[in-house]
Amino acid sequence: MPVEHREDGALVFGYLDTNATRHPRDSVLVRTKVRYHAEMRSHHFGLLVACDVVGDDWVQVRPVPSPVPTTQHLLGLLLSGSGTLEQSGHTMKLQSGEFVLYTGVRPFQLELNGPYRYLVMTLDAATTSLAQATVGATADTRLSHTPTGRVLAAALTELVHSAPGLGPVSRREVGEHIVYLLRTVIRDVDRGHEQSPLFEQILEYLDRHLAENLSPATVAAAHHVSLRYLHRLFRDRGETVCEHIRRRRLERIRRDLADPDLIHLPVYSVAARWGLRDPSHFGKLFRAEFAMSPRRFRDQVLDRE
């Protein structure tokens, strides 16, 4: 990976994209007590890009300020060693087996005590449907200690060891599953309590019927509850019934657009499979959610296969 040694540390870039020059999303300044050296290996999992970093010495990592805005999130798993992440006044200590989610929008400082092994992944806020505010709200939460967080930590640990043996299609699918699981971890933290059985049933019902004509009225009737009560269930969790349906449909469509086995299907046909049958309306929804057209998204992700 490109490294430039300077008086104030080592400038490292390209570790999240081996073809990059000084890409603002992964340019960092690394301070050490000795001359910086680490083994780095990059991996692509669809739109999720990862770098496995192994080093022997203490390091302090800070992003290089750039005038180019970024919408990236960073997901870091500490496989060995110990560390500390500081961002926006919050400090999170890391032990082996723990992960942390932080935003690339604001400055951060990461310290790792060697010998260490650190897996860092970059996730674009638009294409992963993870808002910056949502990520920021988890700053002082030990995500690794939640039930779903432990599942994600185990999956990331296994991913490090299995990545070299995965083919292009498997890599893309694994990347999708990692993003979905991360969303689940965050949603579980946001809820702060266990879901009611009724609400779980409603969510499962919606997922099974996304391709059909859904409305709050039909959902309420199917579960024998009033429309007012249904709206209250969703409002307590930060989104409306229609927002949830739209988000889940767009997530399924995005997944199918990234599937090379479905490349023969036109974009509008993929959208129609999940209940969005007006091409113009669908295009506007997709751009609003993922900051790009559905056709551009498909081209971008399949070009990486």
Domain ranges, ordered by start, for the chain: 3-191, 197-302
Average pLDDT on 112-119 reads: 91
- Exposed/middle/buried for residue 16 (C-beta within 10 Å: 0-12, 13-18, 19+): buried
- Exposed/middle/buried for residue 97 (C-beta within 10 Å: 0-12, 13-18, 19+): middle
Average pLDDT on 38-62 reads: 87
Position 193 pLDDT exceeds 60? no
Instruction: Please write the tens of the pLDDT for every residue from 226-278.
Output: 999 999 888 877 678 998 899 889 988 988 998 888 999 999 999 999 999 99
In Å, what is the CA distance from 263 to each residue of 166, 179, 191, 293? 21, 22, 37, 16
Determine the Cα angle at 125 with ends 123 and 127, to 5°: 80
Instruction: Please write the tens of the pLDDT for every residue from 94-103.
Output: 999 999 988 8
> To which CATH superfamily is domain 3-191 assigned?
Jelly Rolls (2.60.120.10)
197-302 CATH choice from 3.50.30.50, 2.60.40.730, 1.10.10.60, 3.40.50.300: 1.10.10.60
Per-residue pLDDT band at 108 (split at 50, 70, 90): confident
Which of 243, 249, 245 lies closest to 214, judged by CA?
A: 245
**Do 77 and 99 touch, CB atoms closer than 8 A?**
yes
Average pLDDT on 119-128 reads: 75
Q: Which two tokens stand for residue 206?
A: 């919606």
**Residues 282, 286, 292, 298: is their CA dihedral positive or negative?**
negative
Task: Provide the whole-model pTM.
Answer: 0.65
Which of 24, 25, 29, 27 lies closest to 5, judged by CA?
A: 29
Residues of the chain with pLDDT > 70: what percent? Answer: 81
Of 48 and 126, the structure prediction assigns the larger pLDDT to 48
